[in-house]
């Protein structure tokens, strides 16, 4: 009886130690090893802690990451905001970036975001020009005229250029990648996987929150 109790106690202690070890590991992410510091930092557009997702609609890894990111966003505190920032290294990516900002300008980003991903990654459409995109938007209840007006607007073109400049300043090397508070860049490669990207983002959000509290004297 005593041996069984001792065995149970040892097993419980081992589980507690394993949990503490995992927590300690999560609390010791190292700059340069698990994430990169962006210098100079990139100014955000909000007074909240901004998490920026660099993505491309034609990226299969981004398509697979999106459900994880959406679930993760549901658990974030009110002082955190997540913003998409399309990457563009060529003309096709610029077309897709403008589709993202056109959807945002029309107030239909929630409706169009996954259909844009699915059209390319599942239906194998290139969405290589304005007409193809207008067809997709029309199929999802947005008139071709409204889409084309937004797509060709000065505001959408300006936002696409800003997104390109942002990605260059952050020195992203692929997609998906995350940026926290304009100060830290998280890549899949250094994080060791997409799930770990979100764990590191949690760690950096807490780090930034502590810095803000300290600077405000709270």
Strand partners, 178: 53, 186
Mean pLDDT to the nearest integer, 73-89:
97
pLDDT computed for residue 160 by the predictor: 98
- Average pLDDT of the residues of the chain: 90
What's the confidence (pLDDT) of residue 45?
A: 86
In this structure, the number of other CB atoms found within 10 A of the CB of residue 11 comes to 10
Compute CA 197 distance to the chain's CA centroid, rounded to the nearest angstrom: 9
Mind listing the pLDDT tens digit for each residue in 3-44? 443 333 434 433 343 333 334 445 689 999 999 999 999 999
pLDDT for the residue numbered 105: 98
What is this structure's pTM?
Answer: 0.87
């Amino acid at each position: 009886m005593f041996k069984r109790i001792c065995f149970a106690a040892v097993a419980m202690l081992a589980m507690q130690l394993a949990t503490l070890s995992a927590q300690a590991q999560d609390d010791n992410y190292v700059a340069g090893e698990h994430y990169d510091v962006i210098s100079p930092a990139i100014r955000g557009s909000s007074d909240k802690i901004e998490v920026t997702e660099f993505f491309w609609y034609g990226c299969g890894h981004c398509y697979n990451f999106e459900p994880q990111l959406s679930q993760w966003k549901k658990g974030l505190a009110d002082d955190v905001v997540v913003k998409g920032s399309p990457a563009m290294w060529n003309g096709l990516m610029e077309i897709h970036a403008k589709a993202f900002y056109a959807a945002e300008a029309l107030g239909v980003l929630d409706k169009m975001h996954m259909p844009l991903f699915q059209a390319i990654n599942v239906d194998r459409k290139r969405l290589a020009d304005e007409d193809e995109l207008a067809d997709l938007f029309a199929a999802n209840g947005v008139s071709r005229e409204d889409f084309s007006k937004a797509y060709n607007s000065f505001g959408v073109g300006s936002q696409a250029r800003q997104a390109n400049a942002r990605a260059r300043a952050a020195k992203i090397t692929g997609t998906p990648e995350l940026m926290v508070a304009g100060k830290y860049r998280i890549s899949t490669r250094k994080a060791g996987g997409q799930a770990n990207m979100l764990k590191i983002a949690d760690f950096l959000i807490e780090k930034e929150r502590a810095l803000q509290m300290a600077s405000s004297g709270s």
